[in-house]
Amino acid sequence: MATIALFVSLFLLIALSVPIGIAIGLSTLITAIFFTDGIPLMTLTQKVFTSLDSFPIMAIPFFMMAGILMGKGGVSKRLLDFASSLVGFIVGGLAMVTVLTCMFFAAISGSGPATVAAIGSFMIPAMDKERYGRGFAAALTASAGAIGVIIPPSIPLVLYGVVGSVSIGSLFLAGIIPGLMIGFSLMIASYFIIRKKVKKYSESIIDQTITVEETSATIEQMNMKRIDFKHVLKTSYEAKWALLTPIIILGGIYGGVFTPTESAAIAIVYGLIVGKFIHKELSWRDIYDSALETIQVTGATLYMIGLSIAFAYVLNIEQIPQQVADLILGFSSNIYVILFLIILFLLVVGAFLDTIAAIVILTPILLPIVTQVGIDPVHFGVILVTALAIGFITPPVGVNLFVASAIGNISIEKIAVAAIPFFLVMLLVLFILSYVPFFSTFLPGLTN
C-alpha cells in the first residue's frame, strides 16, 4: 500500500504542475505519515540534511561555477573558432562546428543546459543566418548539449557515484568514449541532413521554387571548402587555455594529485585566472553574476537532492527495490532482456523527471538489479546517465528544448519535431553502449 501511495501521490502532484522537488518531498511526507509504521518525521528531516553533508557533492556547485565563469570569460568563442577551423570546411560546416564545440565545452561545464546556453547563443543565430533553418539549428544544439552530462566532468555522474558508492574517477573515464561516440554520430547525421538540403536547393532551380541567386548563395554557404592548416594552428593556439582545462582536471584526478571535488575547485580558480587576467574578458560584474547564478542553481539542485534521498530512504524501508528486482527477474533472467526493459523504463522516466531527481530515486532501485545479473556498476552508470540525457530533448520536461527555444525564439514543438533524427541517432548509440560494455569499461580498466 505504501508503494502505491508513494508513486501515485508523486505523479499526481507532478500532473498538478507542482515543482518536481516539492512533489518528491510532499509524496514522501504523505506516505510516511499515513501509509507506513515507524518512520519518524525527525528521521526524514535528518536524512534530507545529512545527505547533503557530503564532500563529493561539493563538486556539483564547483563545476557549475567553473563552467559559468569560463563561458563568460571568452572560452566559448575561442572553442568555436578552433572547432570551425577543424570541421568548418565540410558540408554543413556550422552544424559540425556546433557539435564539436559542445563536445569541447562539455569537458568544462558538466551540465547539459549550460552547454546549450553557452554554445547556442552563438551558433543558433549563425546557423539560422546561413539558412540551415532555425528549427534544425535549435534541435541540433539541444541534442549536442546533452553530451555535457556524459563527457567528464559530469554532474550526473558525480551524483550517481555518490548515491551508488561508485568511483567517480572511474565514471569520468567511462564517459569519455560514449560522449565522443554520441558527438561524432550527431555530426554524421548532420552531414547527411544538410547534404540532402543542399540537393533539394539544387533541384529547386529547375522547379523555379527559389531564385538562382538564392540557391547559389545557399550552396556556396553549405558546400565544401579546403582546410587551412595555418588557421587551425592559429585558433588552437588562441584556444590553448580552454583546451588545457580538461587536461588539468582529468590529469590531476588520474594522476592522484587531487580528488574530483578538489579538481572542481581548481577549475574555478583556473577559470578566474584565464578569464580575468589572460583573456581579460571577465569583469568583476561577471564574477558576481556567475556566483549569484551558481547560488541560485545550486539551491534548486541541492534541495531536490536532499528530498530525493529522503524519498529513496522510504523506498528502502518499504523494500521497494527488492520488490522491483523480484518482479523484473521473475519476468526474465536474461541479461539482455532485463537491460532492454531498464532502458525503455529510463527513457520514459527521463521524459518526465529531472535528471538529478531520477538518478537519486532510481539508483537504489536499479543498481542492485543490474549488479545481481552481472552488469558492472560503472558501465551501468554510463547507461543510466546517457538514457536520462536523451530526456533533455524529449517533451514534456526536456530542459535543453526550453533553453534552445528561448535562444532561438522558436516553439518547443518545432524543435522537438526537428530533433527526431538526432533522438534516433542517440538512441542507437545508447543501445550499442549498453550491449557492448567495452566502450564504457575500456578506459577504467586501464587504470585498474
pLDDT along the chain (448 residues), means of 10: 81 82 86 80 83 81 84 83 82 86 85 84 85 90 93 90 91 95 95 80 49 40 61 89 86 84 89 90 91 84 81 80 77 87 90 84 88 93 95 85 88 91 96 96 86
pLDDT at 166: 93
| Res 384: pLDDT | 96
**What type of residue is 176?**
I
User: Treating both helix axes as pointing N-terminal to C-terminal, what angle do 212-222 and 168-207 enclose, rounded to 10 degrees?
Assistant: 160
For the chain, what is the domain count?
1
Determine, yes or no, domain membership for 204.
yes
Q: Is residue 235 part of a domain?
A: yes
pLDDT at 203: 54
Fill in the amino acid letter for 236: S
In a domain? residue 36: no
Answer whether residue 37 is part of any domain: no
Asked if residue 313 belongs to a domain, the reply is: yes
Which residues form the domain of 362? 2-31+43-447
pLDDT value of residue 201:
54
Q: With H, G, I as helix, E, B as strand and everything else as coil, classify residue 361.
A: helix
pLDDT at 39: 77
Can you give the pLDDT at residue 424? Answer: 96
In terms of C-beta distances under 8 Å and separation of at least 24 residues, what long-range contacts does 121-125 make, across chains too? 121/407, 122/76, 122/77, 122/80, 123/80, 123/94, 123/97, 123/98, 124/404, 124/407, 124/408, 125/408
Say what the pLDDT of residue 217 is. Answer: 41
How far is residue 36 CA from its own chain's centroid?
A: 36
The continuous run of DSSP H or E covering 327 comes out as helix 320-331
Contact 94, 88 (CB under 8 A): yes
Structural domain contains residue 339: yes
Cis peptide upstream of residue 61 (ω within 30 degrees of 0): no
Q: What pLDDT, on the 0 to 100 scale, is given for residue 212?
A: 38
